[in-house]
Structure 1
Amino acid sequence: MRFLSLAGWLTVVVATAAPPSVELQLQDEAKQLVVRVEGQPAMAYQFGDEFALPHFWPLRSPSEKLLTVQRPDPYPHHRSLWIADKVQMGDGPVVDFYHSWKNLRRPSKPADGFRHFIRHQRFSEMKTEGATALIEIELQWIVDDNRPLLDEHRKLRLVALGNGAYFFDLTWNLQPHEGDVKFLSDGVHYAWPYVRMHPQFSGEQGGVLTNDEGRRGQAGTNDQTARWIDYSNTVAGETEGLALFVYPDDTPPQWLTREYGTFGPRRAEKWSGTKFTLRAGESLHGRVGVFVHRGDAKSGRVAEHYRQYVEDKL
């Protein structure tokens, strides 16, 4: 708040908005890291051992509605925003980290946990400065309970944009722990990463998928190339959404989109829809921007924010 003195005798009180802020709350017992934007919970990183893989849930809209779902029906193996694939080292087992139920020790008793899983190892960086937070995470993709297959470094830089909106730049880098690793992705169903929207934001309940070319819906966006895709809806009278941005390292990738709520970009063509081997010492990289906003793709100025992202101004 500011106080202005006019003509030496009149004091006028002028309200000024506080700059947006970001807080990190590490909850060791719950095994989650909560990110608060302007004092409100915006998103969280879940890394408990009860899950087959770490993931980001919830992601909340500027008005605090759930944008994503953690255990949806159908496809209860979906995890809000997550990274997974189907891989094999040497003549070892083919492990499908995406279809996580295949990795249960005893399918008849899920409480016994998983024999193949992705595990959080540690936070290598965790700090905030004003409206920005930086989180760096070390993970391992593990088979047969204790055999590391891949080492992953994941980095998230989040910026509060004001009025409840926020953006985060998510990067991840995978390297074989030892030896070569084959990637055996399902060319139809995989994304890199996946996002599963909450049903209230899905196309089945009136939500709209829009890409940078103006194509809409699953029919217009699935298997099409795009720089970004937005998923927005009007819920309880407020229009809000989530957009995924692809950093332009290469030609625009194809996308997986579904009216029931799943969407995400595929990898660059060289590593997409085909089997390939990641050699020892090589790395496989991914990067997306996630923009949580008020309004739809147009009124939320998604295209403008994408330009800021690729110009490194976000």
Structure 2
Amino acid sequence: MGQQEFALLEERLDLPKGAWARALRKTLRRGGQAVLGLTQGRQRCYVYPLYTPAGFAVTSESPADHPHHNSFWIAADHLHCRMPVADGKWEEYTYNFYVDETFQGRAPGRLIEIDSRLAAEGPGGCRIEQEIEWRGPVEWAAPAGRLAAVEQRTIRLSVEERCHVIDVESRLEAREFDFSLGPTRHAYFNLRVADSMTVANGGTVRDDQGRTGGSGVTGADAKWVCYEGPVGGGHRAGVAVFPHPTDHADLSWFVTDWGVITVGPFRLKGTVVLRGEALIARYRVIVFDGEMKVEEVAGRFLQYVKEGA
């Protein structure tokens, strides 16, 4: 494998006869160096690990306080399917695709990757395309769970000297039923930084308006949020999250000092997706070594908006 080539390699465990793994991980490598992992867990698929160019991991996979916080993930706890019934009417079936256990009376659904493809994209770049089924829990007349939605997720990666630039486009399609999402703070794009990077451990979180700390940023209409902190051995690293403004007219954040960044287009107001249509939500994540000045983060956000115009 050449120095500039990407490969998406499935990790295989040498388990005893009769034993099997309940989760699957594929690692994206460039010239042998791990960049990120695509993990299929019991409840959802997500990105973990997530590395800086220097090899520092900047996210937490399943912290004890919130085991459903899976590093770098997409989820929603209020997805309402409009199920056809008699006389041309419909009933609303509500599903939880965020918490791994029953949450507010809703049993957990699963996000299952059914296909993934890797392709090169220019020098130092690649593209991963995933097809993901959003399936509800086992229930009456749906022994495998209802197919609530189908997501086409595209992850584009560009490698720079001191940062990885990751673009995510999520296209959530209504294939079998109309559905609505939200309003809820438990959606849509989520990131949980490594424990070492939290504010209590010397980390910082800020937004484009100069607000700092989780309480300062939560509920704000920030254009971007940046988290920085220690990653070991005297080193620091960070992640900046840019929701694309075209997809986020109803923009609001949920951010905490203990490591959560959540942003989505339906925190304050729900949205309806009709059968044959799709919700599109785009994000850019900058994963960097060291510290990044506010002016550089702001410049990178403007470039992102310009590219996607």
Same fold (TM over 0.5): yes
SS at match of 1:94: strand
> Partner residue of 1:53?
44
Q: Using the alignment, how far apart are the partners of 1:22 and 1:74 within structure 2?
A: 38
Is 1:24 aligned to 2:23, yes or no?
Answer: no
Amino acid at match of 1:73: A
TM-score (norm 2): 0.81
Relative to structure 1, is the Cα distance of residues 299 and 211 closer, same or farther in structure 2, using a 3 angstrom cutoff? closer
Query: Does residue 134 of the first structure (1) align with residue 138 of the second (2)?
Result: no
Match of 1:216 in 2: 212
Match of 2:267 among 272, 277, 287: 272
Residues 64/284 of structure 1: CA separation in 2 closer, same or farther (3 Å cut) = same
Contact in 1 for aligned 2:3/2:31 (Cα 8 Å): yes
Name the TM-score, length of structure 1 as normaliser.
0.80
Equivalent position to 1:306, from 274, 289, 301: 301
- 1:174 to partner: Cα distance: 0.7
Q: Across the two proteins, how many residue pairs are aligned to each other?
A: 276
Whether contact under 8 Å (1:240, 1:294) holds in the other structure is yes
When Rg is computed on C-alpha atoms for both structures, the one with the higher figure is: 1
Of the structure 1 ranges 88-97 and 194-203, higher mean CA displacement relative to structure 2 is found in 88-97
1:281 matched to 2:273: no
> What CA deviation, in whole Å up to 9, does each residue of 1:117-164 have, x standing for no partner?
1111112x311253001111111111232421101100011000124x
Among 235, 238, 244, the residue aligned to 2:235: 238
Report how far residue 46 of structure 1 moved: 0.9
Unaligned runs of 5+ residues in structure 1 are: 1-18, 104-113
Give the structure 1 partner of residue 79 of structure 2.
87
| 1:272 partner amino acid | R
Q: Indicate if the aligned counterparts of 1:20 and 1:162 stay in contact, CA closer than 8 A.
A: no
Q: Does the 8 Å CA contact 1:244/1:264 hold for their aligned counterparts? A: no
Letter aligned with residue 26 of structure 1: L
Whole-Å separation in 1 of the counterparts to 2:33 and 2:12:
21
Q: Which amino acid aligns with 1:306?
A: F
The percentage of aligned residue pairs carrying the same residue is: 23
Task: Give the Å deviation of 1:299.
Answer: 7.2
SS of corresponding position for 2:157 = strand
Are residues 226 and 140 of structure 1, via their aligned partners in 2, closer, same or farther at CA, if it must alter by over 3 Å? Answer: same
The one-letter code sitting in structure 2 at the alignment partner of 1:286 is A
In the TM superposition, residue 37 of structure 1 has moved relative to its aligned partner by 4.3
1:12 aligns with none
Contact 2:250 2:269 in 1 (8 A): no
3-state SS of 1:167 partner: strand
Hey, what does 2:173 align to over in structure 1?
Answer: 175
CA distance in 1, matches of 2:195, 2:38: 21
Deviation at 1:302, TM superposition (A): 1.8
Distance 2:242 2:147 in 1: 31
Instruction: Tell me which residue corresponds to 1:117.
Output: 110
Cα deviation digits, residues 264-304 of structure 1 (max 9, x gap): 2221xxx3323443221221111100101123241793222
Identify the residue that residue 147 of structure 1 maps to in structure 2.
146
TM superposition shift of 1:306: 1.9
**Which 10-residue stretch deviates more, 234-243 or 31-40?**
31-40
Q: Within 1, Cα distance between the matches of 2:212 and 2:4? A: 34
